[in-house]
Chains A and B, each alone.
Chain A
Amino acid sequence: MTERDRLAAATRAAGLRLTAADLEALRPAWKRYLALVEELRATLAPETLSE
């Protein structure tokens, strides 16, 4: 699955109606967002759940 396909799937799951051009407009900011959140996740200790 390409990055573009993942974004398209995510927007469909979110109920957004996007054209191909809309998807392209979102892609750079979406990539930056994912990278920033990954940094945030890496810096915060995971919340562990024990059974």
Chain B
Amino acid sequence: MKAPLASLTAAPLAEVAQALRRRAVSPVELVDAYQERIERTANLRAFITPPGQRARREAQRAKQQLARRGAGALLGVPIAIKDLFATRGVRTTAGSRILRDWVPSADAALVTRLRAAGAVLFGKTNLHEFAYGVTTANPWWGVARNPRDVRRSPGGSSGGSAIAVVAGLCAAALGSDTGGSIRIPASLCGCVGLKPTYGTLPLDGAVPLGWSLDHAGPLTRTVEDAGILFDALSGGRAWRQAQRVATRGLRVGLLHDSIVRPLQPGVSNQLEKAAAALRRHGLRVRDVRLPEMGWTVVTQLVTLRAEASAAHAQWIRARPRAYGRDVRIRLQLGALVAGADYVLAQRMRAKITQAVRGVFDDVDILLLPTTPITAPMVGERTVRWRTGAEPVDGALVRLTAPFNLTGVPALSIPYGEVSGLPVGLQVVGRWNDEARVLAVGRLIEALASR
């Protein structure tokens, strides 16, 4: 029986893959259906390079493989790629003007893995220029818009990937995360985003931003999809293991430190609701303290500024006007970071990491909001709290950057809404414990829909 295409474009990757294997839909029909939606939502600026005819040809090949009962967990599944990952024969801009004509001769390692799993590479998504910012207000490729409210920002830097997932323009997407760039847009747009343990997914062929902070990971409609895609990317079995994790009795820590204050009241309410629901399901929820987290902002700032400026050392000196204003200023400031300052930041980073390790002696999982606010208006620069003002950029990374510094896995899951805008909650686990993170994430996802 044919699956209705309109419902499949909004369906989770797991369902799409199953429909393809059952041959209820062909990859070509699916690609055409997504393509038609992409054309209707061009105002969202989700793509820098839309899928086009190349994706249709890949879908034709996948159709033939499916007819021969070919293998591959993602056979025929259209996956959008953040335009930071090199794609053989397809322009890869990193959201910049500098790389606007770069056509790589080889795929990034993760793109190779997606191809090996049978995925149809489905266009290159918009991002903050060189992934150095969290709004995807891209001066060269268009200001990306939140599909839940086009007046609002989708977040970033993987804004295009989150838009493509939420607006039904692909089955799932690949993103990258240096200070929150997968989890922030996932939170603001209302999808799932996984930043795995540092080093789990190879970054060969990805345009670097901060070598010790960069992570790749999936953006998806469900936690199951994030698990499936993560396993395809890593070659591991985290999702299979997650399904065997008993969540009852797990110890969940709620942070009670200055870093989690202030929060938008609606965000705080959703966190409390989720904590209460987890208690009712037999998890042991308790307050924990991590005062060292208060040093995250300066530690991340010094580390990222120095590393990003090192990555851009030649271009920022030779072609400063080829960058947008915000990224140019950040990179120029990074060139002024002294070696001694970088060392100070790494000393503090070691302390933060040690404190996080200590907390995971007492709890199995940390639960906190992904972002303290719901999606801000496009161009909004300041969040006004009762206690004072905070830059929007700073607020958006406040709760995500600590886990780039420490490298532990962190998953953002939609949990409820405030005034029609999604709220994202973040589940954080021990190093390499993606299975438990995914298991608790799936439980929270199920509780959110009740």
Binding site for B on A (CB under 8 A): 10-11, 14-18, 22, 25-26, 29-30, 33, 36-37, 39-41, 43-44, 47
Contact = CB atoms under 8 A, between A and B. Distances in A.
Contacts of B359: none
Interface string B151-184: 0000000000000000000000000000000000
B348 interface: yes
Interface centre among B316, B336, B347, B348, by most A CB within 10 Å? B336
B317 to A, nearest CB: 5
Interface string B292-335: 00010111011001000000000011001000010001001101
A16 B344 contact: no
A36 B298 contact: yes
A18 B295 contact: no
B320 A39 contact: no
Contacts of B344: 37, 40-41, 44
A16 B331 CA distance: 10
A44 B347 contact: yes
B287 interface: no
B94 interface: no
Interface of B: 295, 297-299, 301-302, 305, 316-317, 320, 325, 329, 332-333, 335-336, 341, 344-345, 347-348
Contacts of A33: 301-302, 305, 333, 336
B336 A10 contact: yes
Given A33-B336, A37-B341, A37-B344, 17 more contacts: A14-B335, A14-B336, A17-B320, A22-B320, A25-B325, A26-B329, A26-B332, A30-B336, A33-B301, A33-B305, A36-B298, A36-B301, A39-B298, A40-B295, A40-B302, A40-B344, A43-B348
A48 to B, nearest CB: 13
B335 A15 contact: yes
The B contact surface, by secondary structure, is helix
27 contacts: A10-B336, A11-B335, A11-B336, A14-B335, A14-B336, A15-B335, A16-B316, A16-B335, A17-B317, A18-B332, A22-B320, A22-B332, A25-B325, A25-B329, A26-B333, A29-B333, A30-B333, A33-B305, A33-B333, A36-B301, A36-B302, A37-B302, A40-B299, A40-B302, A40-B344, A41-B344, A47-B347
Contact of A40 (B298, B305, B320, B336): B298
A31 to B, nearest CB: 11
A41 to B, nearest CB: 6
Interface centre among A11, A17, A22, A37, by most B CB within 10 Å? A37
B20 to A, nearest CB: 49
Closest 7 CB pairs of A and B: A14-B335, A36-B298, A15-B317, A10-B336, A37-B341, A40-B298, A40-B344
A44 B295 CA distance: 11
Contacts of B316: 16
Contact of B348 (A11, A29, A40): A40
Nearest to B305: A33
A23 to B, nearest CB: 10
Nearest to A10: B336
A15 B331 CA distance: 13
Contacts of A26: 329, 332-333
A29 to B, nearest CB: 6
Nearest to A29: B333
A4 to B, nearest CB: 14
A12 B298 CA distance: 24
Contacts of A18: 320, 332
Contact of B332 (A11, A40, A44, A47): A11
A36 B336 contact: no
A39 B295 CA distance: 10
Nearest to A25: B329
A16 B345 contact: no
A51 B317 CA distance: 40
Given A17-B317, A44-B344, A44-B347, A36 B335 contact: no
A42 B140 CA distance: 41
Nearest to A30: B333
Nearest to A41: B344
A16 B302 contact: no
Contacts of B299: 40
Nearest to A15: B317
